[in-house]
A and B are shown apart, each in its own frame.
Chain A
Amino acid sequence: MKPASFEHIPVTSVDEALAALDGGAGEAKVLAGGQSLVPMMNLRLALPATLVDLNPVTGLDYVEETPDGISIGAMTRQRTVERSEVVMRRVPLLSAALRHVGHFQIRNRGTVGGSIAHADAAAELPAVLLATGGSVTVVSAARGPRAILAADLFRGHFETSIEPDELLTEVHVPAPANGARWGFREFARRHGDYALAGVAVVTTGAGADIDEAAVSLFGVGTTPVRAAAAEREIVATGSPEAAATAVVDEIEPTGHIHGSGDYRRYLAGRLTRRAVAEAIGGSPA
Chain B
Amino acid sequence: MPTADGLPGIGGIARGKAVGARVTRVEDPKLLLGEARYVADLALPRMLHAAFVRSPHAHARVVSVDPTPAAAQPGVVAVLTGETLTALPLEDAAVHPTLPKTPQPAIATDRVRWAGEAVALVIAESAYLAEDAAEHVLVEYDPLGVLDDLDAALASDAPLIHDHLPGNVLIRDHYSHGDVNAIFQSADHVFQRQIHHNRLAASPMETRGCLADYRRSTGLLTFWSSTQTPDLLRLMLSIVLDHPHQRLQVIAPDVGGGFGPKMSTYPEEVAVAFASRLLGRPVRWIEDRREHMLTTNHAKEQRIDLSIAANADGRFLAFRARYVSDSGAYSFNSATALIEPQLAAGLMPGIYDVQAYEYELLAVMTNKTPIGPYRGVGWTAGHTTREVLIDEIARELGADPTELRLANMIRADMLPYRSATGLEYDSGSNERAVAKAVEAAGYDAVRRAQREADPTADRRVGIGVSPYVEPTAYGTEIAEQSGYPYSSHDNATVTVGPTGTVRVSVGVCSQGQGHQTTFAQLAADALGVSVGDVEVVAGDTERAPFGLGTYASRGAVIGGGAVALAATQVRSRILKLGGDLLEAAPEDLRIEDSIISVIGSPDVSISLADVAGAAYFDPAVRGPGEEFVLSAMSFYDPRPTFSNGCFVAVAEVDLDTGGVRILRFVAVEDCGTVLNPMIVEGQVRGAVAQGVGAALLEGLVYDGDGQLLTASFMDYLLPLASDVPAIEVHHMETPSPRTVGGIKGMGESGLMASPAAIINAVLDAVSPYDPALVELPLTPEGVLRLAGRLPAS
Q: Are B697 and A190 in contact (CB under 8 A)?
A: yes
Residues 699-716 of B contacting A (Cβ, < 8 Å): 701, 709-710, 712, 714-715
B121-135 CB mask vs A (1 if < 8 Å, else 0) is 000000110011001
* Chain B CB within 10 Å, residue with most, of A1, A189, A266, A273: A1
B100 CB-CB contact with A under 8 Å = no
A1-18 CB mask vs B (1 if < 8 Å, else 0) is 110110000000000000
Known: A192-B720, A260-B781. A266 touches B789 (CB 8 A): yes
A257 CB-CB contact with B under 8 Å = yes
Residues 190-204 of A contacting B (Cβ, < 8 Å): 190-193, 196
Nearest chain B residue, comparing its CB with the CB of A5 = B132
Which listed segment binds A: B252-260, B603-611, B653-661?
B653-661
Residues 661-707 of B contacting A (Cβ, < 8 Å): 697, 701
B290 CB-CB contact with A under 8 Å = yes
Nearest chain B residue, comparing its CB with the CB of A255 = B781
Residue from A189, A259, A267 in contact with B717 in the complex, judged by beta carbons closer than 8 Å: A189
Residues 256-305 of B contacting A (Cβ, < 8 Å): 288-291
For B288, the chain A residues whose CB sits under 8 A away are 1
A260 to B779, CA, bound (A): 11
B159 CB-CB contact with A under 8 Å = no
Nearest chain A residue, comparing its CB with the CB of B712 = A43
B5 CB-CB contact with A under 8 Å = no
Q: Are A259 and B789 in contact (CB under 8 A)?
A: no
Known: A2-B131, A190-B722. A274 touches B656 (CB 8 A): yes
Q: Are B784 and A263 in contact (CB under 8 A)?
A: yes
Q: Are A43 and B720 in contact (CB under 8 A)?
A: no
Number of residue pairs A-B, CB distance < 8 angstroms: 65
Q: Are B720 and A266 in contact (CB under 8 A)?
A: no
A223 to B88, CA, bound (A): 54
B412 CB-CB contact with A under 8 Å = no
B759-793 CB mask vs A (1 if < 8 Å, else 0) is 00000000000000000000111001000011101
Nearest chain B residue, comparing its CB with the CB of A264 = B781
B728 CB-CB contact with A under 8 Å = no
Residue from A1, A187, A257, A259 in contact with B715 in the complex, judged by beta carbons closer than 8 Å: A257
A258 CB-CB contact with B under 8 Å = yes
Q: Are B720 and A190 in contact (CB under 8 A)?
A: yes
Q: Are A2 and B720 in contact (CB under 8 A)?
A: no
Residues 232-276 of A contacting B (Cβ, < 8 Å): 257-260, 262-263, 266-267, 270-271, 273-274
Residues 169-212 of A contacting B (Cβ, < 8 Å): 187, 189-193, 196
Residue from B657, B697, B712, B781 in contact with A271 in the complex, judged by beta carbons closer than 8 Å: B657
For B135, the chain A residues whose CB sits under 8 A away are 44
For B656, the chain A residues whose CB sits under 8 A away are 267, 270-271, 273-274
A189 to B692, CA, bound (A): 13
Nearest chain B residue, comparing its CB with the CB of A189 = B717
Q: Are B723 and A196 in contact (CB under 8 A)?
A: no
For A257, the chain B residues whose CB sits under 8 A away are 701, 709-710, 715
Nearest chain A residue, comparing its CB with the CB of B793 = A260
Q: Are B127 and A193 in contact (CB under 8 A)?
A: no
Nearest chain A residue, comparing its CB with the CB of B130 = A2
Q: Are A191 and B722 in contact (CB under 8 A)?
A: yes
Q: Are A191 and B781 in contact (CB under 8 A)?
A: no
Q: Are A43 and B781 in contact (CB under 8 A)?
A: no
Q: Are B289 and A1 in contact (CB under 8 A)?
A: yes
CB distance from B204 to the nearest CB of A (A): 17
For B781, the chain A residues whose CB sits under 8 A away are 259-260, 263
For B720, the chain A residues whose CB sits under 8 A away are 190-192
Known: A1-B289, A187-B659. A263 touches B790 (CB 8 A): yes
Nearest chain A residue, comparing its CB with the CB of B716 = A257
For B709, the chain A residues whose CB sits under 8 A away are 257
CB distance from B81 to the nearest CB of A (A): 22
Residues 193-212 of B contacting A (Cβ, < 8 Å): none
Known: A1-B288, A1-B290, A2-B128. A263 touches B780 (CB 8 A): yes
CB distance from B600 to the nearest CB of A (A): 62
* Chain A CB within 10 Å, residue with most, of B658, B712, B722: B658
For A274, the chain B residues whose CB sits under 8 A away are 656
Q: Are A263 and B289 in contact (CB under 8 A)?
A: no
For A192, the chain B residues whose CB sits under 8 A away are 720
A189 to B777, CA, bound (A): 12
Residue from B131, B290, B657, B789 in contact with A187 in the complex, judged by beta carbons closer than 8 Å: B657
Nearest chain A residue, comparing its CB with the CB of B703 = A257
CB distance from B786 to the nearest CB of A (A): 13
For A263, the chain B residues whose CB sits under 8 A away are 658, 780-781, 784, 790
Q: Are A2 and B127 in contact (CB under 8 A)?
A: yes
CB distance from A249 to the nearest CB of B (A): 16
* Chain A CB within 10 Å, residue with most, of B135, B657, B722, B784: B657
Nearest chain A residue, comparing its CB with the CB of B721 = A191
A270 to B655, CA, bound (A): 9
CB distance from A257 to the nearest CB of B (A): 5
Q: Are B657 and A189 in contact (CB under 8 A)?
A: no
CB distance from B30 to the nearest CB of A (A): 25
Known: A43-B712, A191-B722. A196 touches B701 (CB 8 A): no
CB distance from A260 to the nearest CB of B (A): 6
Known: A5-B132, A257-B715, A267-B657. A187 touches B127 (CB 8 A): no
Q: Are A262 and B790 in contact (CB under 8 A)?
A: yes
For B791, the chain A residues whose CB sits under 8 A away are 262
A261 to B697, CA, bound (A): 19
For A43, the chain B residues whose CB sits under 8 A away are 290, 712
A193 to B135, CA, bound (A): 31
For B128, the chain A residues whose CB sits under 8 A away are 2
Residue from A39, A260, A270 in contact with B657 in the complex, judged by beta carbons closer than 8 Å: A270
CB distance from B714 to the nearest CB of A (A): 8
For A187, the chain B residues whose CB sits under 8 A away are 657, 659, 780
For A4, the chain B residues whose CB sits under 8 A away are 132
Nearest chain A residue, comparing its CB with the CB of B723 = A190
A103 to B332, CA, bound (A): 38
Known: A2-B127, A259-B779, A266-B789. A190 touches B132 (CB 8 A): no
CB distance from A252 to the nearest CB of B (A): 16
Nearest chain A residue, comparing its CB with the CB of B51 = A2
Nearest chain A residue, comparing its CB with the CB of B713 = A39
Chain B contact residues, CB within 8 Å of chain A: 127-128, 131-132, 135, 288-291, 656-659, 697, 701, 709-710, 712, 714-715, 717, 719-720, 722-723, 779-781, 784, 789-791, 793
Sample (18) of A-B pairs whose CB atoms are under 8 Å apart = A1-B288, A1-B290, A2-B131, A187-B780, A189-B717, A190-B722, A196-B780, A257-B709, A257-B710, A257-B715, A258-B715, A259-B779, A260-B781, A262-B790, A270-B656, A270-B657, A271-B656, A271-B657
* Other A-B pairs beyond A1-B288, A187-B780, 12, CB < 8 Å: A1-B291, A5-B132, A39-B714, A43-B712, A190-B720, A191-B720, A257-B709, A257-B715, A260-B781, A263-B790, A270-B657, A274-B656
Which A-B residue pairs are the 7 nearest by beta carbons? A270-B656, A1-B288, A263-B781, A191-B722, A187-B657, A2-B128, A2-B131
Chain A contact residues, CB within 8 Å of chain B: 1-2, 4-5, 39, 43-44, 187, 189-193, 196, 257-260, 262-263, 266-267, 270-271, 273-274
